[in-house]
Amino acid sequence: MKKRNRTLFVGAAVLLLAGPVMAQVGTVHADSVSEAQSAISSNKSKKEKLIAEMNELQSKVWSLDKKVVAKNQAIASVTSDIQASQKRLDEIAGEIKETQIELKNRRTVLKNQLVELQKQSSNSVSGNVYIDFVLSSDGFTELLSRSFAVGKLNKANQEAMDAVKASENKLQDLKDEQDQKQQALVDSKAQLVSDKADLVEAQKAASVAVAKLQTEVTANQDLLENLQVTLKSALSEAAQEKANKAAAAAAKAAQKAASSATNSSTSSSNSSSSNVNSGSSTGTPNVTHTGNNPYSWGQCTWYAYQRSGWAGGSWGNGADWGNSARAAGFTVNNTPAVGAIVSFAAGQSVGGQWTADGQYGHVAYVESYNAAAGTITISQGGMGFSSPSGPNLQTISNVGAYTYVHSPY
């Protein structure tokens, strides 16, 4: 896959976070690396601060949520109390109405009694119906009887009237008290509704603040990751270019030595040529592989180095790996094998499915070989794939057309 020049991007990435860091475009120097590392440290501190602020605001949102729920419950409770209070007020109003009807009926009965007494009195002497009723008695016995009846009737009516009136007054007092309770409940509900509205506004403001901080955290994380990747890639590329020169020099020296051997003897030349094509090596492979991948992340060389566990760290671009590996003593030929690294020349067709980069070529790892079908299944990395870090499996044919670097193990 195409190798990217990441050195140019280091300065731009650091500039976004911590001001100018890279002094110049080109080779990554020690001072610019130090500044980049300082910018990364500063960026991490900023991220931690943003996350702490976001967590604090999120806790506030949760607290406000609980308060809103509590207010809703309180409003529901007060609403229920208001309904119960209103029901009691309606009951009291009904009782007052019944008492008033009873009082009216009692007055009607009293009026009828007076009319009846007046009929039984032949003449009005005193102008008082009760006195005239007593005075109109025919004898002493009737006088006593009428006096007793009038007293009893008058007392009964008075007691009945007083009882009805007292009941009416009591009910009215109860209604006034219930009205006050009802108004207090209504006022309480209004206050709860107002408090809830304030909480909802505070909740919205806190949620907006949390979302804003989340956006900042995400942007900060993206910049941090880009800075780390570009810095690592720039360092790797600088080391790789140095290694490329060394590999090219080694390859040139190996070719010169081979040419000298060819000129000394024709048969020796033919034997040497046959050995190279069949996969023989010039000696014991020089395995320099370490756990620190020197190639740029997201490149095909990075994946092949990582996947094989034995590839060299200075073999150059994908198309150069065959010559570089041969110079390092590895077996290189056109015979596919599981566990080998397959190298594609610049512009070479990869199984007729796509074409390797016209300048850098491509390199992959052989996962399986189907001799009967004449195909190999490879895993590979590169920025042109959905997963730059691999494995991106692919089965290809025409297997004899590629260069294979065989495992030293």
Give the 3-state secondary structure percentages of the chain, helix then strand then coil, rounded to 5: 65, 10, 25
**Ranges for all domains in the chain classified under CATH 1.10.287:** 31-225
Mean pLDDT of all residues in 70-88: 93
Mean pLDDT of all residues in 394-403: 97
**122: pLDDT confidence band, cut at 50, 70 and 90?**
low
**Ranges for all domains in the chain classified under CATH 3.90.1720.10:** 283-409
User: For 193-242, what is each residue's pLDDT tens digit?
Assistant: 999 999 999 989 988 998 998 888 788 888 878 777 766 665 556 555 55
Largest alpha-carbon pair distance within the chain? 181
CATH class, domain 31-225, is mainly alpha
**382: pLDDT confidence band, cut at 50, 70 and 90?**
very high
pTM of the model: 0.36
Beta strands in 287-374 (DSSP E): 332-333, 341-344, 349-350, 354-355, 362-370
Task: Look at residue 137 in the predicted model and tell me its pLDDT.
Answer: 77
Q: Which residues pair with 405 in a beta bridge?
A: 332, 341
Q: Give the span between the Cα atoms of 219 and 43, in whole angstroms.
A: 11
Residue 78 to residues 29, 81, 91: CA-CA distances in angstroms?
73, 5, 20
**101: pLDDT confidence band, cut at 50, 70 and 90?**
very high
Q: What CATH code is assigned to 283-409?
A: 3.90.1720.10
Mean pLDDT of all residues in 347-364: 97
Q: Which residues contact 176 (CB under 8 A, 6 or more apart)?
A: none
